[in-house]
Amino acid sequence: MKILIDARTLGQKPSGIGIYTARFARALLEERDISLCLVTDVCESAEMLSLAESGIPVLSYGRAIRKGPDLWRYFSFLRRVIREEKPDIFWEPNNLLPIRLKNPYGKYVVTLHDIFPITIPEQHGKIFCLYFRYGLWKTLRCCDALLYNSGTTQREILEHFPRLETKPQYVGYVITPPPEGEKTERKDYFLYVGNLEKRKGTDLLLEAYSLYRQKGGRSELLLAGKLRDTDVQSALERAQRETEGLRYLGYISDSERAQRYRECRCLVFPSRAEGFGMPLVEALDSGAGVIASRLPVFEELAGDKVRWFALDGGAEALCDAMLDPAPPAPEHWENPFTAEKLGPGLAAFFRGLNRKTLCLDGQALMEEVPAGIGTLAAETARCLIKSGRYDVSIRAFSRGRRPAQLEKLRHYGLDEGHIQLCKTLPRGIYLRIWHYLPLPWSLFFPGKADFNFFWNYDVPPGVKGKSLVYVHDMTCLRCPETMDAGVRKLLGQNLADTCRRADRILTLSQFSKNEIVELLGAAPEKIAVVPCGVDHSAFHPPEDPAALARLREKYGIRGDYFLYIGTLEPRKNIALLLKAYERLAVRRPDCPQLVLGGKKGWLCDSLLDTLESVPLRGKVVFTDYLPREEIPVLMGGALAFVFPSLYEGFGLPPAEAMACGAPVIVSDRASLPEVVGEAGLIVPVETEEPLCAAMQRLLDEPETRRELSRRSLERAKRYTWENAANCVLAACEELENAN
């Protein structure tokens, strides 16, 4: 994985952000699968030269940048470097990048250290505050993921920008290594480290130190850092003239800073606002006492290891803290911010980002009692998430949905940031209007996913990224009379557009693939076959004879039985099954009952009337809708499972029956021979005699039943939801490689 880092704050005299960048770059060097590249204005600082010597390529703009045109020319240079280097991750650690920038080769990550020009604008110039707001707006719109230097910073930013919760984010803190060098004897001076500016409380410190000297305090005060504020500069010059014991050291190196920590009496850190507070941690790590303003972020970092003073107490409160005996050296302090502790976490976050993103349409995942497409979607989604191959999220229209349906989306183990809901309108309305008013999907779900997955015959317009769609079968064209008129009309309007928009069409069998090629003219190479899976934890040979006995009593089943489970409709060829069974009942008056399980479908009334014919009266049991937990029990106890359907895209009931060890009889139509193979009896269904003969054969030949049962169990092993998910992943990888 290649990470390109904008290290422009590291090129000359690095301040806090520059040091943050350098330390994490050095930590990431320890990760063998990560290669780094730094881009900067100039390569002059000791830290930058050290990183270059360690083998990290450094791409330099060639001259120091300040403000104005130079900065914008540097940004153009940065764009060009991204195009040339093609990084998996472009990392901007400098809080914001005020240009429209995307990383077309991977992810764009930004570290947000603070938003002080928004939260405390009085500490900054008006022009800078406007520049910051504009730059932050650009950055947050363009970036793919966010890093924070503390949990406090994350909470503050999300309070102002709650929509950022949908982006991947990570609290990485700031690496603060243990100090180098030997311990030295403490000297009698206070130390301040950091930029000299109002936000850091430098003006407050100068005032407090003047009071401290007036009240008899004798310790010196040493200030180290860059002067960043003209008002503070004036206050410093005045204090140096009027107050003894005050020394300004200017910018100091890492080694000198570590030495000062080891020998100072105490670090004084009166900042009004901080994103992290590196000097505080460095001082504690050196064994120095610390006096600090009570900020939430400081409490997050140091707990009770610091002597606090209240900012609202002003210079008097800080002076009182300085007049007290020096804070004792912190006991039991263990630095949690070392490279060994923070580096692997950031590397893992980057690896996670480097995974391609896969967004699932949540429509089919919200069914309270999933069946058919809902079961396929739920099981496949769980396996895709479990595989870890892609960063999976769910997008769903929530308007018009019951709370229980929305709650289903949280059963897939995804955090809130990976579930994106749109309340604008119901999906059903969107589905019906996009043929006439092609509102883009990205209007409702902004942000590009590498792969977008749709379960049910439709790809909306304006999807950003590759699209995969399930086209389960061609019932709408081969057997249109068996479908609801509204659904048939909707598919007629949208199906051709769906297949054109989709980058890959998924279907359940080779038969269905051939149908799609023939009827829709789709290219065969665009279609991937993804066989259905069977939930083998539910569908397996019976283990509890008492459960079957209870169902026999419940439904009035006497002894052995033939079983059909599915919707009662003409396409399932129930009329032929009843004729075949009637013929068998005439030949063998003592033949087992026929159990029909499933809800009533289209034009089933005539079928139910047939049950009242004299040969069938009392011999056929109609259970109506079966609870899911009863289906495996009935399948496992059946003498044979009979499924003479005329048209199926796959035929899940025979696969589930095979998993239960039932011998199966299926028609020679559509996908059924493909699904059953040599594990069952495949019969022509032009007339009832072949089906009757197959049922009689299994009734009369126990040895054949046992052999088919063995074959069924073996055949069913290939139908797992893990295998279905692997086929989906293979289709995504083919698209990825082709791209």
Domains of the chain: 2-171 (3.40.50.2000), 189-323 (3.40.50.2000), 356-529 (3.40.50.2000), 545-719 (3.40.50.2000)
H helix intervals, 483-544:
485-501, 510-520
Would you put residue 462 in left (φ > 0), alpha (ψ -120 to 50) or beta? left
Can you give the pLDDT at residue 353?
Answer: 84
Displacement of CA 454 from its chain's centroid (Å): 17
Can you give the pLDDT at residue 93?
Answer: 93
Q: Pairing mode, if any, of strands 527-529 and 504-507?
A: parallel
For 125, list phi and psi in degrees, rounded to 5.
-70, 155
Q: How many helices (H) and strands (E) does the chain have?
A: 29, 26
Locate 446 and state its tokens: 């902004």
Can you give the pLDDT at residue 60?
Answer: 93
- Alpha-carbon span 705 to 714, nearest angstrom: 14
> In the chain, which residues have pLDDT < 70?
67-68, 326-330, 600-615, 617, 739
- Alpha-carbon span 649 to 510, nearest angstrom: 9
H helix intervals, 355-501:
373-387, 403-408, 427-433, 441-444, 475-478, 485-501
Rounded to a whole number of angstroms, the CA Rg of the chain reads: 36
Residue 602, helix vs strand vs coil = coil
- Alpha-carbon span 68 to 33, nearest angstrom: 38
As beta bridge partners, residue 505 has: 469, 527
Angle (nearest 5°) at CA 405 between 399 and 407? 105
Q: Pairing mode, if any, of strands 466-470 and 451-454?
A: parallel
Q: How many CA atoms lie within 13 A of 63 on its CB side?
A: 7
Using a cut of 0.85, tell me whether the model's pTM lies above it.
no
Can you give the pLDDT at residue 315?
Answer: 95
**Residues with Cβ within 8 Å of residue 521, at least 6 apart in sequence:** none
